[in-house]
A and B are shown apart, each in its own frame.
Chain A
Amino acid sequence: MSDNLFFGIAVALVVLAVTNGYWWQRVRATEKALRTSLDRDKRVATNAQQGYETTERAVTSQVKLEKAASQANCPPQELPGQIDRLQEKLREEKNETERLRREWADSWWTARRREPPDTPGVVVGQFDGATTEEIQTIAKYADHPQTISILIAVSAGAVTVRVGDSLTDQFAAADIVADICDSAGGSGGGSAALATGGGANSEALVNAVNAVVGDIETRLTCDQA
C-alpha cells in the first residue's frame, strides 16, 4: 500500500471520529434539553392540577392573604381566628347599636307622652343627623293609637310614617309616604301601619311633610266635626 493510501485512511478516520464526536455531543445536548423541557412541562402541569392554575396566582393569593392579615392586624396563620373574633365583635356592636337606638326611641316617646293628645293628631319629628334605620326604630315604638307619627331623617333624605291603630281605617302609612315622595322625589313603601321613603331631596322633604300634615289635620278636623 502506498503512503498516500495510509494518509487517506488516516484522514478518513480522523474525519469520522470528529463527525461522530460532533453528533454524539449534539444528541447528548438534545436529550438533555428535551428532558429539561419535559420536566418543566410536568412541573407546571402538576402545579395546575394541585389546585392553583399558576404559580403567579399562588403568589397573588399570598399577597392577598398577607394584605388581609395586615389589615386584620395579625399574622396570616391567625387570620381565620381573627375573622371569627371580628365577626363576633361586629355582632356585639350591632346589638349595642340597636339597644341604643331603642333607648333613644323610648326616651323620645316618653318625653312626648308627658302631654298625651286626647284627640287624634299628627306628630312630626325632624332629626338632622339621624339615619333611616334610626327613624324606623323610633317609629316602631310610636304606640299611641290616636297619633300619626311622621319622622324625617333630613340629611339622609328619608321619612318614616307610623299610623296609630285606631286611625288605620282612615289613613294608610304607605299612601302618606307616597304623597310625600311625589312632592320631594325618591320612593318608598310599606304597610298601612308603617312605611318608609328614601332618596328624597332634603329641603323639599321638609316642605312636603308640612303640606301633607296640613292635609291630614284638615281631614281629622272634618271627621271630628
Chain B
Amino acid sequence: MSSTELTVERLTASENSVWQSFVKEHPLATPFHTLKWKRSVEGTFDYKAAHRIVWDDESGDVAAIVPMFDCGGLLRSTLVNPFCEYGFPLVSKDADPGALLEVLRGLAGSRRTLLLKEADWTGTVGYNAAGFGGVETGRTRRLALPNEFESLVDHIFDRKLRQNVDQARAADVRIRATTETDTFYECYLAAMRRRGSPQFPQLFFDILLAEFGEDCSLLVADLDGETVAGLLALDYDGKRHLFINGSDPSFFDCRPNDLLYWESIKRACERGYDIVDFGRTEPGSGVNQFKRRFGGETHRLTTVGTPPHCAVEGSVSSYKRLEPLARRSAPIITHESVGPRLKEWIHE
C-alpha cells in the first residue's frame, strides 16, 4: 500500500458507527480511542474534535483511525489527544504504517503541530523516516492479572504494600463505589493544590461517569464518615486504566491510597480483566515508587510529533522546572476560575 492510496478524512457524525466498529475490533484500542472519550472532552473543554479516519482507496476499508482534538494555541495550534497517555493511531493489520505516517504528516504545517502519544506495544514504526520527532514523556506500569486476586497478594505485591493495607484497615478506612463526584473532587483539588498543578473542572468527571457508565468506576476511601481519597478508573476491553487519583495529604498516615488501588485491582480481577494500567509516572518520582509496590512491567511512553522541533510540546517536563514556583502560586493556579482554564491551555 503506498501513500497515494490512502485518504485522510475528518470524522463526521455519519461515520461514527464505522469508527466505533473499528475501535471495537482493534486489539490495541484504549478508552481514549472511543467516542465516549471524544464526547467527554468535547463536553468539558473548548476543543474542536479533529478525529481522522484514514481510508484505503483501493479496498475502501479503514486503514487507520487517529483520535485528536484541535487544542488551539497562541502562535501555533496543536492536534493531540489531550489528558491521556494513549493517542496513537489504531492501524489496520493490512495497512503500511510508513505510508500512513506520511499522509498524517500532511495534517501539520507551519502554524500547526501534530502530536501522537505512542506506546511501544503498538508495534507502529516508521515515525523517524516519516519526519516525526519524539520526546519521552515517562513510563507506565502495566500489571497482568491472574484469575485469583490472592495470587497477586501472595506472589506479586510488595510486603510494604501489604503492611500499608493492613494499616489502612486497622485505621478503619473504608472503600466504597460512588457516582457522586463532590467529595472526590475535594480530595482531587487538595492533591492538585499540593502539587501546584492546575485542575480539571468537576464537570469533566461527571461527564466521564455519565458517558462511560459501568466502564468508569469511582472508588472513594472514607475515614470516620469523611472522604479522604478517591480513584477514578476507565475500563476498556478487559483493561483497567487507573486514570485520576486524589487524596487529602493530612490522612496519608492512614494509607487510604494503598487500600484504594488494592481494592480497584481486586475488583478488576473479579471482573475477569487481563491488565491494570497504572498510568504515566516520572521515573524516580515518589508516585512511581508507590506504584512499583504493586508489581507489573514498566513501558516507555513517547510522544511523537511533526514538525520535529515541536515534539517537545508533548512533554510536561518543561513545566516541571516551574514546580517550586507553581507550588508557591498554588492558590492562584488552582483557583476555580483559573485552574481549569490553565489546564485547557496546557492540555497535558
Contact = CB atoms under 8 A, between A and B. Distances in A.
A70 B129 CA distance: 44
23 contacts: A33-B134, A33-B311, A36-B134, A37-B127, A37-B134, A37-B311, A40-B134, A43-B120, A44-B125, A45-B125, A47-B123, A54-B121, A54-B122, A56-B122, A56-B123, A57-B121, A59-B297, A63-B144, A63-B145, A66-B144, A66-B146, A70-B151, A75-B155
Interface in B111-139: 118-129, 132-136
B120 A44 contact: yes
A48 interface: yes
Interface in A1-59: 26, 29-30, 32-34, 36-41, 43-45, 47-48, 53-59
A57 B299 CA distance: 13
Contacts of B127: 37, 40-41
Contact of B123 (A29, A38, A39, A53): A53
B279 interface: no
Interface in B288-333: 297, 299-300, 302, 304-305, 307-309, 311-312
B contact patch SS: mixed
B11 to A, nearest CB: 24
Contact of A33 (B28, B146, B305): B305
A48 B146 contact: no
A53 to B, nearest CB: 6
B274 interface: yes
A59 B130 CA distance: 28
A107 interface: no
A196 B108 CA distance: 73
Nearest to B272: A67
A41 B300 CA distance: 12
A62 B156 CA distance: 13
Contacts of B2: none
A191 interface: no
Interface of A: 26, 29-30, 32-34, 36-41, 43-45, 47-48, 53-60, 62-63, 66-67, 69-71, 75
Interface residues of B, number: 40
Contacts of B300: 40, 43
Nearest to A60: B274
A32 B134 CA distance: 8
Contacts of B123: 44, 47-48, 53-54, 56
Contact of B308 (A30, A41, A48, A56): A30
Contacts of B312: 29, 33
B121 to A, nearest CB: 3
A158 B328 CA distance: 83
A40 B142 contact: no
A197 B307 CA distance: 73
A40 B126 CA distance: 9
B148 interface: yes
Contacts of B308: 29-30, 33-34, 37
Interface of B: 27-28, 118-129, 132-136, 142, 144-148, 151, 155, 274-275, 297, 299-300, 302, 304-305, 307-309, 311-312
Quick one: which of A32, A33, A38, A63 has the most chain B CB within 10 A?
Answer: A33
A44 to B, nearest CB: 5
Contacts of A41: 125-129
Contacts of A45: 125
Contact of A37 (B120, B121, B132): B132
B302 A56 contact: no
Contacts of B121: 54-59
Given A40-B304, A63-B145, A63-B275, A33 B118 contact: no
A212 B43 CA distance: 76
A55 B301 CA distance: 12
Given A44-B125, A63-B144, A70-B151, A36 B309 contact: no
A104 B247 CA distance: 68
Nearest to A54: B123
A29 B304 contact: no
B147 A30 contact: no
Contacts of A69: 146
Contacts of B125: 41, 44-45, 48
Given A29-B312, A33-B133, 17 more contacts: A26-B309, A29-B309, A30-B308, A30-B309, A33-B135, A40-B302, A41-B125, A43-B120, A44-B124, A47-B123, A48-B125, A54-B120, A55-B120, A56-B121, A63-B144, A66-B151, A71-B147
Contact of B144 (A33, A53, A59): A59
Contacts of B129: 41
A19 to B, nearest CB: 15
B151 A30 contact: no
Contacts of B297: 59, 62
Contacts of B135: 33, 36
Contacts of A66: 144-146, 151
Quick one: which of A32, A37, A39 has the most chain B CB within 10 A?
Answer: A37
The 8 A-B pairs with the shortest beta carbon distances in the complex, nearest first, are A33-B133, A56-B121, A37-B134, A55-B121, A36-B134, A54-B123, A33-B311, A63-B144
